[in-house]
Amino acid sequence: MNRKPHIKGNDIFIYEDWQVILFNGVGLEWKRDFKNLIARLNQPDSVLKHDHRSQVGLIEIDGIKYIIKKFILQESWWWFQLTSLWFPTLGELACRNAFRLLKNGLLTPKPTLLLQKVKNGFVIDCWLVYGYLDGKPASVSDAKLIVNFIQRMHKVNLIHRDPHPGNFIKTDSGLATLDPLRICSTTSKYMKAYDIVLLENDIPEAPDIYGLNELGLYFRLAKFGHNLVRLYRKLKYLFRQILGIKNHY
């Protein structure tokens, strides 16, 4: 990775071929013009997903497809801007987790560019560009593939924390996970069991495929903890509705 700090108030983290695209003056005009680069990231060729958390778009450069993820929460919520002074941003976390997966032979889109707009030391906007993975969305019929992927993660002490079929894609190189943002490193058997409890919501046979003996008592504890979290969220949502407080999530 190469870094070009605070170019016109921006932090830029560059991976692989984007070093050439941005700073060697090769190719299309927008590659040499930083303002045009920002415009290009904000206006992708097509938008694949757009909600209050992020916008995911697709662009094509010199015949190569890339995915652009704009972290809307980084722009709209003051908490993420404030904590960027001391902790990794959403984009930095996503990059770190992606490279953790790739290092351990687990497939995920590879980051090529992280661009962060900085004002008074705070990161107020964030874009992440990934390499495009061609494939078909995974579904509940791919239960064994998904559970095996989670097991491989657990063996290297990584947990997914958002393991639903929509976060996986089937490629010619095997199964890949699409969004590594919530992935983290831990040796906790409870947290690993919690992954399977979450996956059980979409794939009821997930615990049996993973192996209940391997999960042991931690699976029951994780299931109890998950039920408590769900109850808390329902009560919190009801409480906020009664008070007329707008939910951020």
102 and 150, same domain (yes or no): no
Average pLDDT value over all residues in the chain: 86
Query: What average pLDDT does the segment 149-160 reach?
Result: 97
> Looking at residue 143, what is its pLDDT?
97
116 and 143, same domain (yes or no): no
13 and 115, same domain (yes or no): yes
Tens of pLDDT, residue by residue over 163-178, are 999 999 999 999 999 9
Query: What average pLDDT does the segment 214-221 reach?
Result: 94
Is 242 domain-assigned?
no
Last residue of some domain: 74, 100, 131? 131
119 and 51, same domain (yes or no): yes
80 and 145, same domain (yes or no): no
> Looking at residue 3, what is its pLDDT?
46
> Looking at residue 179, what is its pLDDT?
87
Q: Is the pLDDT at 22 greater than 60, yes or no?
A: no
How many domains is the chain built from? 2
> Looking at residue 8, what is its pLDDT?
58
Q: Is the pLDDT at 150 greater than 50, yes or no?
A: yes
Beta bridge partners of 128: 69, 114
Print the SS3 string covering 168-215. Answer: EEEECCEEEECCCCCCEECCCHHHHHHHHHHHHCCCCCHHHHHCHHHH
Is 221 domain-assigned?
yes
Task: Kindly state the percentage of the chain with pLDDT values over 90.
Answer: 61
> Looking at residue 246, what is its pLDDT?
67
CATH code of the domain containing 65: 3.30.200
pTM: 0.85
> Looking at residue 184, what is its pLDDT?
94
51 and 8, same domain (yes or no): yes
CATH code of the domain containing 182: 1.10.510
Confidence of residue 103 (pLDDT cuts 50, 70, 90): very high
195 and 229, same domain (yes or no): yes
173 and 217, same domain (yes or no): yes
194 and 208, same domain (yes or no): yes
Query: What average pLDDT does the segment 23-46 reach?
Result: 66
Query: What average pLDDT does the segment 151-158 reach?
Result: 97
> Looking at residue 233, what is its pLDDT?
86
63 and 152, same domain (yes or no): no
Is 158 domain-assigned?
yes
121 and 20, same domain (yes or no): yes
> Looking at residue 29, what is its pLDDT?
46
Is 247 domain-assigned?
no
Domain hosting 51: range is 2-131
Confidence of residue 28 (pLDDT cuts 50, 70, 90): very low
Query: What average pLDDT does the segment 104-118 reach?
Result: 92
> Looking at residue 17, what is its pLDDT?
55
